Structure 1
Amino acid sequence: MILTGLLLGAVLGYVLQRSRFCVTGAFRDLYLTRSTRYFTPFLLAIAIQAVGVAALTGRGMLAPEPASFAPLAVIGGGLIFGVGIIMAGGCATGTYYRAGEGLIGSWVALIFYALFAAVMKYGPLGGFTEAARARTVADATIHETLGVSVWVPTLVFSAIVAVLVVRRYRAAKARAASGRPSVTLPARRTGLGHYLADIPWSPWVGGVLLGLIAIAAWLLSTAAGRNGGLGITTPSAKIVTFLTTGDVTLVDWSVMLVLGILVGSFLAAKLSGEFRWRVPDAQTMLRSAGGGVAMGVGAALAGGCTIGNSLVETSLFSYQGWVSLVAIMLGTWGAAWFFLQRPQRAAEANRPAPVLTPAS
């Protein structure tokens, strides 16, 4: 049954590559350009998963267990992780699918991310992580605190997302009507192949499919004996630990899932003609390595990454999910200012003024 993880991971990797869906870009663009192009579809993915998981739980098909809330670890880890994904140029899933495209910088970030997640979870710093995450509060979820059914926050959140989706759609439609006509490139294939490989997918397609894949992950993972949904950090740490110890019990459904992301993104990149090995400069390589370290440390402390926390735990309306989402966003914004916005403004300030010549 664990091979279903490989299959679903390949589907996830394919979807992420074709839609260029990366949560780092969603958070970064919200700060730098005030764009919700990817952020609103990401909220839509959370809402789809929340409705699906609540319905399946009500039918007795799932029994999700929201993570306990350790405020200091979650906030601190989320901030560190947010900084790391800007340095690495992608979140956990974004790093996986870009590695599948042939980006060497993403491979560097991925290796250090998995390595330090293993160090923090199963290695010499495992005791520190366990102690930090042991400082929990009583309630784990929002609806537990309110004393209501999980359907209350699910429906309220879904209604808010529906309003945001409609607003985003109307704004995009207005811009399309007032802008220049788009240029359509000749199709390399016909029929289904054209849509699967030739044309980029809309963020809306990526968001909807991500939500549906997240629901499928719960069902397939449960059938394989693992009570959980999508997850990236723990299986990444398990891969490193397996490679160093040979403990085959670590190779479970979640490990197959993350390996499948590499397979799926590679296939998508090859079919679309976007795969090629790309080696960045030394500074980018070092920054990618540092970003991978921060991602591994931050995700281990926070109890998850932008998938495990910001997508999955938020759909369960756990405090860990929503608090880490805010912390990751703040870390992303701070790093975006420091690494992207600040140098750009400094370069503009130091740019010499144009020399005006008198008219003849």
Structure 2
Amino acid sequence: MIITGLLLGAALGYVLQRSRFCVTGAFRDLYLARSTRYFTPFLLAIAIQAVGVAALTGIGVIAPEPASFAPLAVIGGGLLFGVGIVLAGGCATGTYYRAAEGLVGSWIALIFYALFAAVMKYGPLGGFTEAARSRTVGDATVHETLGVSVWVPTVVFAGIVGALVVRELRRSSGRKVAALPPRRTGLGHYLADIPWSPWVGGVLLGLIAIAAWVLSTAAGRNGGLGITTPSAKAVTFLTTGDATLVDWSVMLVLGILVGSFAAAKLSGEFRWRTPDSATILRSAGGGVVMGIGAALAGGCTIGNSLVETSLFSYQGWVSLVAIMAGTWAAAWFLLVRPQRAARGTARPAPVLSPVA
């Protein structure tokens, strides 16, 4: 049954590549451009998954277990992860699908991300991570604290997201997107020629996240989409040969590479691109910080910001805020501050006065 992880991962990779859906861009654009073009569809994906998970839990198909809340680890790890994704140029899934497009910098970020996630979870720093994440407090979920059904926060959140979706659609109703001449006809044109809108990416991401719960449970793993732990497992398997580590989730992340590579090849967007030395160092550093942060926080922008939020766990929502804060801080330091400094040191052109 773990082969279903590969198939679902391939579908996820295809959707991410065609819709250019990267949570890093959603968080960064919210701060730099005050744009919700990708952020609102991301919230929609959470809402879709939340409704699906609540329904499947109610009829006994799945039995999700929200993560315990370790505030110091979650906040600190989330901040680090937010900084790391700006350095690396993409979140965990963004790094996977861009690596499959031929970006060597993303391969470097991906390798260091997986390596340091393995170091923090299964390697010499595993004890530190375990100790940090063992300092838990209070309840695990919002509805547990309120003493209500999970449907209460689900319905409230879905209503809020619905209002935001309507608002965003109204704002973008007059926006026109330039279209390239079609290279194919029929279904192939829609699958490979034209870019998919963020709304398509958000809806499909939410549906894939629901399917992940069902297929993963059938394969003997109680969980939804996840990137950090399976990436760490893949590295640990390569270094130890422990075949028990290769489970449904590992097949999922391998499938992301397969699906995004197929999408990039069909759309003509695949080509090898080698960055300069400064970008290589920045990508490597970003991967290191991403791996450390995700391990401490208990997940990345998928495991926490998409999956745990749909369970209304404190880990998911606090991590989401922390990752956004880290993203914004890194964007200010690496993008906004240098631009302001450059404008401040630029000398104005001399004004020539007329000769009497």
Scaled by the length of structure 1, the TM-score of the pair is 0.97
Instruction: Output the amino acid matched with 2:113.
Output: Y
In 2, Cα distance between the equivalents of 1:290 and 1:63?
Answer: 37
- Specify the alignment match of 1:48 in structure 2: 48
| Percent identity of paired positions between Structure 1 and Structure 2 | 83
Report 1:148-227 matches (<5 A). 148-173=148-173, 175-176=174-175, 182-227=177-222
Q: Structure 1 185/102 Cα, relative in aligned 2: closer, same or farther at 3 Å?
A: same
In 2, Cα distance between the equivalents of 1:339 and 1:327?
Answer: 18
Q: How many pairs were matched up?
A: 355
1:4 maps to 2:4: yes
SS at match of 1:85: helix
- Offset at 1:191? 0.4
Q: Structure 1 37/312 Cα, relative in aligned 2: closer, same or farther at 3 Å?
A: same
Q: Structure 1 182/210 Cα, relative in aligned 2: closer, same or farther at 3 Å?
A: closer
- Offset at 1:348? 1.8
- Offset at 1:182? 4.8
Of 271, 279, 300, 2:274 maps to 279
- Specify the alignment match of 1:256 in structure 2: 251
1:119 maps to 2:119: yes
In 2, Cα distance between the equivalents of 1:242 and 1:185?
Answer: 44
Equivalent residues of 2:16, 2:22 under 8 A apart: yes
- Offset at 1:333? 0.3
Equivalent residues of 2:179, 2:194 under 8 A apart: no
Q: Structure 1 110/158 Cα, relative in aligned 2: closer, same or farther at 3 Å?
A: same
Of 343, 346, 349, 2:341 maps to 346
In 2, Cα distance between the equivalents of 1:164 and 1:142?
Answer: 22
Q: Deviations over 1:121-150 (max 9, x none)?
A: 000000000000000013000000000000
- Offset at 1:296? 0.3
Of 296, 305, 321, 1:326 maps to 321
RMSD of aligned residue pairs (Cα, Å): 1.1
Moved more, 73-82 or 181-190: 181-190
Q: Structure 1 222/340 Cα, relative in aligned 2: closer, same or farther at 3 Å?
A: same
SS at match of 1:312: helix
Scaled by the length of structure 2, the TM-score of the pair is 0.98
In 2, Cα distance between the equivalents of 1:90 and 1:11?
Answer: 19
In 2, Cα distance between the equivalents of 1:359 and 1:270?
Answer: 61
Instruction: Output the amino acid matched with 1:260.
Output: G
Instruction: Output the amino acid matched with 1:67.
Output: A
Instruction: Output the amino acid matched with 2:25.
Output: G
Q: Structure 1 182/232 Cα, relative in aligned 2: closer, same or farther at 3 Å?
A: closer
In 2, Cα distance between the equivalents of 1:334 and 1:318?
Answer: 25
In 2, Cα distance between the equivalents of 1:207 and 1:217?
Answer: 15
- Offset at 1:166? 0.4
Instruction: Output the amino acid matched with 1:120.
Output: M
Q: Return 5+ residue gaps in structure 2 as ranges.
A: none
- Specify the alignment match of 2:144 in structure 1: 144
In 2, Cα distance between the equivalents of 1:195 and 1:239?
Answer: 34
In 1, Cα distance between the equivalents of 2:243 and 2:178?
Answer: 51
- Offset at 1:357? 4.8
In 1, Cα distance between the equivalents of 2:287 and 2:83?
Answer: 10
Report 1:21-32 matches (<5 A). 21-32=21-32
- Specify the alignment match of 1:304 in structure 2: 299
SS at match of 1:206: helix
- Offset at 1:185? 2.1
- Offset at 1:23? 0.3
Q: Deviations over 1:307-351 (max 9, x none)?
A: 000000000000000000000000000000011111111122222
- Offset at 1:356? 4.0
- Specify the alignment match of 1:246 in structure 2: 241
SS at match of 1:200: coil
In 2, Cα distance between the equivalents of 1:304 and 1:183?
Answer: 37
Instruction: Output the amino acid matched with 1:308.
Output: G
In 1, Cα distance between the equivalents of 2:301 and 2:180?
Answer: 34
Instruction: Output the amino acid matched with 2:180.
Output: L
Q: Deviations over 1:207-250 (max 9, x none)?
A: 00000000000000000000000000000000110000000000
In 1, Cα distance between the equivalents of 2:26 and 2:177?
Answer: 24
Of 207, 212, 236, 2:231 maps to 236
In 2, Cα distance between the equivalents of 1:220 and 1:107?
Answer: 28
1:99 maps to 2:94: no
In 1, Cα distance between the equivalents of 2:15 and 2:335?
Answer: 28
In 2, Cα distance between the equivalents of 1:125 and 1:182?
Answer: 48
Q: Deviations over 1:263-318 (max 9, x none)?
A: 11100000000000001111111011000000000000000000000000000000
Instruction: Output the amino acid matched with 1:221.
Output: S
Of 261, 270, 277, 2:265 maps to 270
In 2, Cα distance between the equivalents of 1:359 and 1:269?
Answer: 59
